[in-house]
Amino acid sequence: MTRTRPQCGLSLFLALSLTWPGALLAASAASAGDQHLITLKASAMPSGQLAYEMVSHKVKSSTGKESDLTERYASGPTIPGPTLVMKEGDAAEVTLQHGIDDAQLPVSIHVHGVHYKIDSDGTMKLLNGVADEAAFPGRPYTYKWTAAPGTAGTWAYHDHAFGNPMLGAEDKGLFGTLIINPASGKVPALIDGKVVDVDLADIKREFILWMHETTFWGQELNHIIEGGKEIPLWTNPTVGARLGEKVRFHVIGIGTAFHTFHLHAHRWIEAGTVGGAVDTVNVGPISRTSFVVKAGEGVGPGDWHYHCHVIQHMQSGMMGDFKVVE
Amino acid sequence: MNYTSFLALALVAFPLTNAANAVERSKSEDVIISRPGVLPSAVLEMTDEPGKWFKDPKSGGSLVVIKPGQAVLIKMTDTNTDHTITSLLWQPGAANFPVDQERPSNASVTQTFDKPGLYVFTCKVHPYMLGAVVVDDPTTEGLDIGAEIQLVTGAKVPTTSDIAKKLLRTFFIGTTPALWRDYRTPNWEVKLPDLPINLAGSVLKLSALNFSEPNALLQPQIPGVGEVWVDTQFEGVSGKTKHGTATQIDASNWTIKQKVKGVEQNMNNPHNMWTDATYKYIYQTEWFDKRLTTFDRASGKVYNTQVVGQNPSHAMSNPLNGMLYVALNGEDRVLKLSPGEFPTALGNINTGPHTGPHGHHITDDGKYMITPNALASSVTIVDLASEQATEIPTGGVIPIAAWSDMDHKAYVANLLGTPPKMLSSLTVIDIDGKKKIKDIDLAENYDPISGEHKGEAYGLGPIQTPVSPDGKYVVSANFLSTTITILDTKTDKVVKSLPCEPGCHGVNFGLKKGGGYYAYVASKFANDLLVVDMDKLDIAGRILLVDPKDGQITGNYGMGGQGVLPLPLADAGMLAPTLKLVGTGKLSPEVEGWLTLVTQQQRGN
């Protein structure tokens, strides 16, 4: 099994090419979905926080069509890290490079939601009993994930090794989002008072909001720009949409605090419930809510506030706006 | 158009209003309506690690430099307890200042700084946790400190003033363990880098704050009675990740008997101790944690560690019934526990909303408890029989420690003075009358601008402030002036100022052999225990808190002196329950031996 590979350039390209058949073979047992070849790097931000950045994301579809999605991502490390979007039936090989200057400590990716073998757990041997499944300086590590049926949802990935072999350094910024879209291409949503299936192709904007201690760290996935764009929005941002657009929110907790995510003047259904509208959802560490709303439905345009409804967190500025314009 | 330039256009386009840009703006608005929030340019992580309480993950230091308009994320990492993020000093007129979290929590702050100059943050629960941000205008020479600093006490002082220099020096010493005063070396050398700093146009070097002093230990000529426990809260210990030990000193010969480390329990920042009437148990608070540890006084064996609440600071017993009272500095209550090997929580005494009681005191007749409320400008008087509590506003900033005399007059140290007039103060409280009597200016003879101090009243930043067992004096440990002030309780005037050590902190009285008392003073950023002879009102000794035989200590040797517990207890009312046990077999032969040395005068007769 190819677990490590050279860092970049022509040799990387060759290595990637060589691993295609392996990736196909690994995934073919599960389904005939797309094959994702992703290379991420763990790096330090200018502030000293740690974060993941996208190096390369290529996809080979079941029909054999190859595409390069790398341009979709922001350049440089971001908090949250790159949002990886797959669909049920897809498989991925995710290679992590160690790019944290002046640090010899291993760094990893532990993923939630999808299927993987124990050598892709992203933990240290101390925990998994198998191997140190982490990248070291000059020694990347490759994880294999399968988005098997039933894994649709919004999931976290995060470090489980750096600085502390039991915990890792997710608290310092090493976390990101994995979205597995359902094979059906549709998600249920409360639109105009009814629960309907919304076609994912009709969702033009997605907002990722991580609730870390008393701060939201945001990102937009914009599907209007050709090929899609991932836009870092940093802390407590304004997320914006046009009136009547269907937008999807992904709200995820991390750290130690428990939150209640509230968005003013909008309601949605929690996945798995029918007709049970909510406008506030409990979000604990690595638990999440993902939902579709029609921007400004029944209430019109405005700077609709979103915030954590824990009073102390509100007092610390854990809030932003959902800007709905005509 | 590549992504970066597209985003830049989208972001830049918003503020533009001229017609030429209108088309571009509407196009970009069509696509991206979201607007990014602040991206922090630097981080300060709050930790339990001594000297690294606000830690820059890049440098490991406690100071970050940013440019005007940039932001710093201050967050809590590697800490087992709650804190506040609070401005200690800032630039006058800076937007969105001061920062102050009202209650301790684990909440983070992302703060944008507009005005060049120095900003210092602290925690109101642990006010020596210090972190600094320098907002440096890159077009000026040297690091911008600013012309003036606004202090949390309300005073605004020039950065060239003596008090500003004292704060800077205290900041650099406190956050740099290599600059702590190590009595194993011949000299205390404070050497700061030749970094140019800009004080409103005049450029100096940081090294102008440098100084050197000889280190000389001193053996007190007259022995003490019994032993002295000192929380050496910052010592590193092999086998545990958290810091701190309790050091036991034999007062008959001034040697170290042992250091209690709590390795298995990972004892975290041991801060203050008390004992039971038999002197068998030591109750140890873990101030940067939620726990109380009980260990055997003679052997050091840890009996148990239990969670009692956020930031347990001080522990003290009621001499009438032995009940143990633990102040919860991060909460609004004092926990009452039964004494013994396994103290059991029996109830809570609420000290009032947002109070954060720190160094409480129980009157020596066991009738009242007074709590200095560090997070409120108040004290609370508790009738221990009825547990009725009365909160009294005092106007002091961070009331941190209290001590009452036999006549129920209490002295309360206000760490940062009483605005608007007093930079440094003690508040006097009439416990029976449940009222404030007055404030005493501890730094009456100090000029904060020139630094001149003509006269004895030169105490800045009082911490522990006990009344001597004979009621004659109040001894205060002052961290900012690094002095010990001795106040005559008849006149409430400071009659003596003595030199202390950096981080001067804990004071308590012990029995001097043959009669009289010693005041023992512990300092955070030095590894000696000062001994003050209360008959001479002078320094009688400097005892090294390092045990060279102890191979388990791995760093900050003997450092972090805070809580001091001399045994036998020196206050006659506190000593009485133990004296009653003489000959009953409940006291160890060692304790019986100490008690034979207690004079009639020391018994309060």
Domain boundary at A131, A159, A181, which?
A181
Q: What is the mean pLDDT of residues B153-181?
A: 96
**How many Cβ atoms are within 10 Å of B187's Cβ, its own excluded?**
10
Question: In terms of pLDDT, which residue wins out, A276 or B444?
Answer: B444
- Residue A110 falls inside a structural domain: yes
At A18, the pLDDT band (50, 70, 90 cuts) reads very low
Among the partner residues A74, A212, A323, nearest to B33 by beta-carbon distance = A323
- Cβ-Cβ contacts under 8 Å for B108 (sequence gap 6 or more): A212, A213, A214, A215, A316, B73, B74, B75, B76, B85
Q: Is A152 a domain residue? A: yes
Say yes or no for a CB contact (<8 Å) between A213 and B75: yes
Residue of A nearest to B8 (CA): A231
Please tell me the distance in Å from B272's CA to the nearest CA on chain A. Answer: 29
A208-224 burial code (b ≥16 CB/10 A, e <16): bbbbbbbbbbbbbbbbe
CA angle (B194, B197, B198) in 5-degree steps = 155
CA B120 – CA B54 distance, rounded (Å): 10
Are the Cβ atoms of A46 and B41 closer than 8 angstroms?
yes
What's the gap in Å between the CA of A105 and the closest CA on chain B?
15
Amino acid at B544: L
A231·B7 Cβ contact <8 A: yes
Q: Same domain for A278 and A193?
A: yes
- Interface residue B105 vs chain A (CB under 8 A): yes
Cα separation, A58 vs A38, in Å, equals 6
Check residue A27 and give its pLDDT: 43
- Distance, in Å, from the CA atom of A213 to the CA atom of A257, rounded to the nearest integer, reads 6
- Condensed to tens digits (0 to 9), the pLDDT of residues A238-294 reads 999 999 999 999 999 999 899 999 999 999 997 655 557 888 999 999 999 999 999
Question: CA A304 to CA A321: how far, in whole Å?
Answer: 5
pLDDT tens-digit series, residues A112-152: 999 999 999 999 999 999 999 999 999 999 999 999 999 99
**pLDDT given for residue A17 in this prediction:** 41
Fold classification of B42-214 (topology level): Immunoglobulin-like (2.60.40)
Nearest CA in chain A to B45: A172
A165 falls within a domain: yes
- Phi/psi of residue B27, nearest 5 degrees: -65, -50
Q: Within this chain, do residues A196 and A321 fall inside the same structural domain, yes or no?
A: yes
**The pLDDT of residue B9:** 39
Q: Which residues of B touch A315 (CB under 8 A)?
A: 101-102, 107
Two tokens, residue B127: 């006010």
Distance of alpha carbon B514 from alpha carbon B599, whole angstroms? 7
pLDDT at A270: 77
**3-class secondary-structure state, position A289:** strand
For residues B220 and B540, the answer to whether their CB atoms sit within 8 Å is yes
The amino acid that residue A216 corresponds to is F
Distance CA B321, CA B365 (A): 11
Same domain, A260 and A177: no
Last residue of a domain, one of A147, A162, A181: A181
Which member of B2, B43, B105 has the closest CB to residue A47? B43
* Burial degree of B584 (CB within 10 A; 0-12, 13-18, 19+): exposed
- How far, in Å, CA of B140 to CA of B317, rounded? 58
Q: At what angle do helices B589-596 and B572-579 cross, to 10 degrees?
A: 130
Nearest CA to B426 among B408, B439, B409? B439
pLDDT for residue B200 is more than 90? no
Are B530 and B483 within 8 A, CB to CB? no
Percent of chain A surpassing pLDDT 70: 89
- Is position A1 within any domain? no
Q: Nearest to residue B499, comparing CAs of B218, B175, B245?
A: B218
Q: Are residues A32 and A170 in the same domain?
A: yes
Q: Could you give the maximum distance between any two Cα atoms of chain B, in Å?
A: 98
Residue B5 touches chain A, beta carbons under 8 Å: no
Determine the 3-state secondary structure of B169 from DSSP: helix
Asked whether the predicted pLDDT for residue B331 surpasses 50, the reply is yes
Considering chain A, what percentage of its residues have pLDDT values greater than 90?
81
Q: How far A148 CA sits from the closest chain B CA (Å)?
A: 32
Chain Cα centroid distance, residue B301: 27
Does residue B174 have a pLDDT over 50?
Answer: yes
> pLDDT by residue (tens digit) across B501-560?
999 999 999 999 999 999 999 999 999 999 999 999 999 999 999 999 999 999 999 999
Q: How confident is the model at residue B27 (pLDDT cuts 50, 70, 90)?
A: low
Distance (Å, whole) CA B435 – CA A84 = 64
User: Pick from A205, A213, A231: which is nearest to B108 by CB?
Assistant: A213
Name the residue of chain B whose CA is nearest to A236's CA. Answer: B37
Q: So what's the pLDDT on residue A278?
A: 87
Q: What is the mean pLDDT of chain A?
A: 90
Is A100 in CB contact (< 8 Å) with chain B?
Answer: no
Residue A271 has a pLDDT of 67
Question: How much is the pTM?
Answer: 0.90
Parallel, antiparallel or unpaired: strands A238-242 and A319-325: parallel
Question: In terms of C-beta density within 10 A (0-12 exposed, 13-18 middle, 19 or more buried), how is residue B126 classed?
Answer: buried
Instruction: Please tell me if residue A238 touches chain B, with a CB cutoff of 8 Å.
Output: yes
Q: A224–B42: do the CB atoms touch at under 8 Å?
A: no
| pLDDT over 70 (residue B21) | no
- How large is the average pLDDT for residues B245-258? 98
Chain A neighbours among B 72-91 (CB < 8 Å)? 73, 75-77
**Fold type of domain B227-596:** Methylamine Dehydrogenase; Chain H (2.130.10)
Q: Helix %, strand %, coil % for chain A, to 5? A: 15, 45, 40
- Residue A215's domain spans which residues? 186-325
Contact A269, A133 (CB under 8 A): no
Which percentage of chain B shows pLDDT scores above 70?
A: 95
At residue B25, the 3 state secondary structure works out as: helix
- Our CA angle for B62, B67, B71, nearest 5°, is 65
Q: Do A316 and B109 touch (CB under 8 A)?
A: yes
Cβ distance A47 to B38 less than 8 Å, yes or no, reads no
Over the stretch A210-248, which tens digit does the pLDDT of each residue have?
A: 999 999 999 999 999 999 999 999 999 999 999 999 999
One domain for residues A155 and A208: no
Euclidean distance between CA atoms B543 and B268, whole angstroms: 24
**What is the CATH number for A156?**
2.60.40.420
Structural domains counted in chain A: 2
pLDDT tens-digit profile of B275-307?
Answer: 999 999 999 999 999 999 999 999 999 999 999
Which pLDDT tens digit goes with each residue over B3-19? 344 434 343 333 433 44
- pLDDT for residue A102: 87
Interface contact A315-B102, CB threshold 8 A: yes
Which of B3, B11, B34, B45 would best serve as a mutation to test chain A binding (most A beta carbons within 10 A)?
Answer: B34
Using an 8 Å Cβ cutoff, are B594 and B568 in contact? yes
With left for phi above 0 and alpha for psi between -120 and 50, is residue B556 left, alpha or beta? Answer: left
Say whether both A235 and A285 belong to one domain: yes
CA dist A201 and A182 (Å) reads 12
Which residue matches tokens 């909160």?
B391
CA distance B285 to B338: 15
Mutation pick from A172, A235, A306 vs chain B, by most beta carbons of B within 10 Å, is: A235
Determine which helix (DSSP H) or strand (DSSP E) holds A18, and give its type and residue range: helix A9-28
Alpha-carbon torsion angle A122, A123, A125, A131, nearest 10: 0
- Among candidates B34, B39, B107 on the partner chain, residue whose Cβ is nearest the Cβ of A240: B34
- The pLDDT value recorded for residue A315 is 87
Distance of alpha carbon B393 from alpha carbon A156, whole angstroms: 49
Is some CB atom of chain A closer than 8 A to the CB atom of B112? no
Alpha helices in B141-263 (DSSP H): 162-174
Claim to verify: residue A122 and residue A240 sit in the same structural domain: no
The ipTM is 0.86
In terms of Cα–Cα distance, which of A147, A148, A163, A304 is closest to A238? Answer: A304
Among residues B355, B330, B354, the alpha carbon closest in space to that of B125 is found at B330
Q: How many residues are present in chain A? A: 326
Tokens (6 digits) for B365: 């007749």
Instruction: Give residues with Cβ within 8 angstroms of B250, minimum separation 6.
Output: B227, B256, B257
Which residue shows structure tokens 């060692």? B590
Q: Identify the band that residue A60 occupies on the pLDDT scale cut at 50, 70 and 90.
A: very high
Determine contact: A240 vs chain B, CB below 8 A: yes
Query: What's the distance, CA B526 to chain centroid?
Result: 14
Give Cα B371 to chain centroid, integer Å: 16
Taking contacts as CB-CB distances below 8 angstroms, the residues of chain B near A172 are: 57, 77
Per the document, the length of chain B is 605
Mean pLDDT of chain B: 94
Do both A209 and A133 map to the same domain? no
pLDDT higher than 60, residue B213 = yes
Residues above pLDDT 90, as percent of chain B: 93
Domain ranges of chain B: 1-36, 42-214, 227-596
For the segment B479-498, the average pLDDT, to the nearest whole number, is 97
* Cis ω before B312 (30° cut-off from 0): no
Which helix (H) or strand (E) segment holds residue B425: the answer is strand B425-430
Tokens (6 digits) for B341: 């090997």
> CA B286, B82, A170: angle at the middle one, nearest 5?
110
Please say which residue of A181, A216, A239 terminates a domain: A181
Strand B345-350's sheet: what is its strand order?
A: B312-317, B324-328, B333-337, B345-350
State whether A299 and A165 are in the same domain: no
Q: Does the bond joining B98 to the residue before it have cis omega, within 30 degrees of 0?
A: yes
Residue of chain A whose alpha carbon sits nearest to that of B101: A316
| B37·A237 Cβ contact <8 A | yes
With CA atoms as reference, the chain B residue closest to A102 would be B58
Measure in Å the smallest separation between the Cα of B61 and chain A Cα atoms.
12
Q: Does A256 touch chain B (CB under 8 A)?
A: yes
B76 vs B54: CA distance, rounded Å: 9
Model confidence pLDDT, tens digit, residues B432-443: 999 999 999 999
Which residues lie closer than 8 Å to B257 by C-beta, 6 or more apart?
B227, B248, B249, B250
Phi and psi, residue A6, nearest 5°: -60, 160
A26, B144, B207 from B195: Cα distances, Å: 59, 11, 7
Which of A47, A235, A241 is opposite residue B42, by nearest beta carbon?
A: A47
Residue B46 to residue B310: CA distance in whole angstroms: 16
